[in-house]
Amino acid sequence: MKLKTLTQKIKIPKQIWFTLLEMIVVLIIISIILWMTVYFWSENIFKLKYKTTKEEFLSTFNWFYINSLGSNYTNQNRFNQLNLEILSWKNSIIYSYIWDWFYQTWEKNINSLEISNIQIDSWTIQNKSSISIQPYKIGCEIKDINNITWARLDFKIIVNKTKTYCLYLLSQNCRIKEKLCNP
């Protein structure tokens, strides 16, 4: 008898239970919120990927320049000059250390990067520009394909064939800086 009265006392009111329609509405709202967050997160991830590739290019160039300011040794050899080549058909920086008796060339690849529109002092040149850095010396020499020295180098880097950054380099301080791209 006691058992019967106990179950009669525990009655769940009908207002507590959700209807199926209310549950579907809540699920739809939650799924819309999740979709929006995933969409915006993926946009931020792409932006970070573009920026990371640009920063990799800049840090590679700055690493060469800063190391040559502080030392004239690499691979246990004393070098007299460091040459960097920016090529418009490659996604890399080609660098050469010139020693007294020989020189050696390497290539630093930067994935998903394309270099284009190389200009020296507002003159569009061919596909290549050379930058010469002397150890312990501030600044650098910017040379074209004909080995003529210039004061400024402008170029674009294109990341994943979608995002374009316009950059320039001044010979007096040898620092790559970003500028606004002209349409």
Predicted confidence at residue 71, as pLDDT, reads 84
Query: Quick one: average pLDDT of 112-141?
Result: 78
| Lookup: tokens for 160 | 């994943």
Contact 118, 146 (CB under 8 A): no
Predicted confidence at residue 13, as pLDDT, reads 56
Is the pLDDT at 10 greater than 70, yes or no? no
| CB atoms closer than 10 angstroms to residue 77 | 13
Query: Quick one: average pLDDT of 115-135?
Result: 75
Is the pLDDT at 85 greater than 60, yes or no? yes
Is the pLDDT at 30 greater than 90, yes or no? yes
Identity (one letter) of the amino acid at 118? I
Domain boundaries along the sequence of the chain: 39-179
- The string of DSSP codes covering 14-70 is TTTSPPHHHHHHHHHHHHHHHHHHHHHHHHHHHHHHHHHHHHHHHHHHHHHHHHHHH
**Residue that wins the pLDDT comparison between 64 and 116:** 64
Is the pLDDT at 111 greater than 70, yes or no? no
C-alpha pair distances (Å), 47 with each of 39, 42, 163: 13, 9, 9
